[in-house]
Structure 1
Amino acid sequence: MSSPAEYYRSLPPVSRAYGVLCLMTTTAYYFQLYDVEYIWLSYDLVLKRFQLWRLFTNFFFLAPFSTYFGIRFLMLARYGVLLENGSFKRRTGDFLWMIIFGALSIMGIYLPWAMLALDIIFNNPLKPDIMGVLAGHLYYFFAVLYPLSGGKNILKTPLWVHKLVAFWGEGAQMNSPVQQNPHAGVAFRGASYRLNR
């Protein structure tokens, strides 16, 4: 059986980073380092007070530590890893772009509906799940179906996402216009000499 550290290192890079950010955000909330009011998505505050961080931070807070958090976190982790190792294998930049676009909800046929059912059971708002389903369907249509029917890929992964993945030096990119940074993730590179001859 592998250790937790080995399991963590075996996770694909985007799913691993997203999981860590979700855990860190929830842990910081648990220790009362911030109030949820400062990270929840409010278009009124984004547009009128230019609180642009709200466009990103709301995706990392799933819920306070609870059964609901555990189920939601495990579902996202499981399907995120399956998708990143399956449909998006060797396409880390494309997977990151899909996440940025907000289409995480297309990770499985039943995942969006399971999340919706979970929110109904726990009496949570349904709007975020419905928006996720819409975003997932829009991404799938414009990134997959429309180009297959002869149309242009409107949601093609931008060059800056490919550069970000190449800079990280994590994951693989099958069709990237950018070469991976050979020095990414390397703190020391020394010549190795065997001492026992």
Structure 2
Amino acid sequence: MDIGSMPPVTRLWAFSSLAVSLAEHISLLSRYSLFYSPSLTFNLTSPQIYRCITSFLYFGEFGIDFLFHLFFFIRYSRMLEENHYAGHTADFAWLVVVCGSLLLLTSPLITPPLPFLSSPLAFTLVYIWSRRNRHIRLSLFGVLVITAPYLPIALCAFSWILTGSAQAVKGDLLGLAVGHVYYFFADVWPREVRSGGRHFLKTPALFTRLVEGRPQPAPNT
């Protein structure tokens, strides 16, 4: 896993996730200071806004489940950024911001609430990649050959087998739901006659200037 060869957004996220997980593993950080809780994050007297970010950087304790989710996050984040957003770093960063914001809004609706949103966001990226590459056939763990649209469900099933946790699968399924919402409004709706060509999720020019220093034309999706 050569982090240096990754595109910028994926590289920053991967490096930060590894750093946070390592810091927690050697007790420099506590997972209790990382998880997302609306009551702590938006506390009026002492808000902890940083939790909106740290909850996306912690993939759990080192182990098989950690490696499983981190591997698929890096793989499909990288393929999305390199193949669909090459030269459009701000657009991919905006995708992550939008999907992350949707997860922050919807995760408290899950019972019990999801404390960490790194895995759901990874599954969001897997879903978007699978919809944009629907005709690709791939081998899953060298055992099962499937077409890309079935990949998210197959990975959810494997995640459930791996962890035996219904709560973890709820998070993965929430990630798929958010991915579907993003895919619909970014890829499907703008092509509908009723949309009038409006693109609700277009990257704001200000965000593009902040990330890239200059406006960029929209990528081909």
Give the TM-score band, short-chain normalised. 0.7 to 0.9
Contact 2:3 2:15 (8 Å CA) reproduced: no
Q: How many residue pairs end up in the alignment?
A: 167
Per-residue CA deviation, residues 159-195 of structure 1 (Å, 9 max, x unaligned), is 233123214x9xxx8516xxxxxxxxxxxxxxxxxxx
Per-residue CA deviation, residues 101-138 of structure 1 (Å, 9 max, x unaligned), is 22434233345334422431203323321221121111
CA 1:140–1:80 in structure 2 vs 1: closer, same or farther (change >3 Å)? same
Taking the aligned partners of 1:115 and 1:139, their CA distance within structure 2 comes to: 19
Partner residue in 1 for 2:176: 133
Partner residue in 2 for 1:13: 8
Matched, 1:57 2:51: no
Taking the aligned partners of 2:84 and 2:129, their CA distance within structure 1 comes to: 9
Percent of aligned pairs sharing the same letter: 29
Partner residue in 1 for 2:164: 123
2:125 partner letter: L
Contact 2:156 2:172 (8 Å CA) reproduced: yes
CA 1:44–1:115 in structure 2 vs 1: closer, same or farther (change >3 Å)? farther
Contact 1:29 1:36 (8 Å CA) reproduced: yes
Matched, 1:143 2:190: no
TM-score, scaled relative to structure 2: 0.67
Partner residue in 2 for 1:104: 125
Taking the aligned partners of 2:154 and 2:36, their CA distance within structure 1 comes to: 23
Contact 2:7 2:82 (8 Å CA) reproduced: yes
Taking the aligned partners of 2:187 and 2:30, their CA distance within structure 1 comes to: 39
- Tell me which moved more, 42-51 or 153-162: 42-51
RMSD: 2.3
- Gapped runs of 5+ residues in structure 2? 100-123, 131-148
Contact 1:112 1:132 (8 Å CA) reproduced: no
Contact 1:142 1:154 (8 Å CA) reproduced: yes
Partner residue in 2 for 1:194: none
Taking the aligned partners of 1:46 and 1:38, their CA distance within structure 2 comes to: 11
Partner residue in 2 for 1:195: none
Contact 1:147 1:153 (8 Å CA) reproduced: yes
CA 1:115–1:55 in structure 2 vs 1: closer, same or farther (change >3 Å)? farther
Partner residue in 2 for 1:175: 217
Contact 1:72 1:115 (8 Å CA) reproduced: no
SS at match of 2:20: helix
CA 1:114–1:25 in structure 2 vs 1: closer, same or farther (change >3 Å)? farther
Larger radius of gyration: 1
CA 1:159–1:11 in structure 2 vs 1: closer, same or farther (change >3 Å)? same
Taking the aligned partners of 1:84 and 1:92, their CA distance within structure 2 comes to: 8
Q: How do residues 82-93 of structure 1 correspond to structure 2 at under 5 angstroms?
A: 82-93=79-90
Partner residue in 2 for 1:30: 25
Taking the aligned partners of 1:92 and 1:110, their CA distance within structure 2 comes to: 28
Instruction: Choose which of 134, 153, 158 in structure 1 pairs with 2:204.
Output: 158
- Gapped runs of 5+ residues in structure 1? 177-197
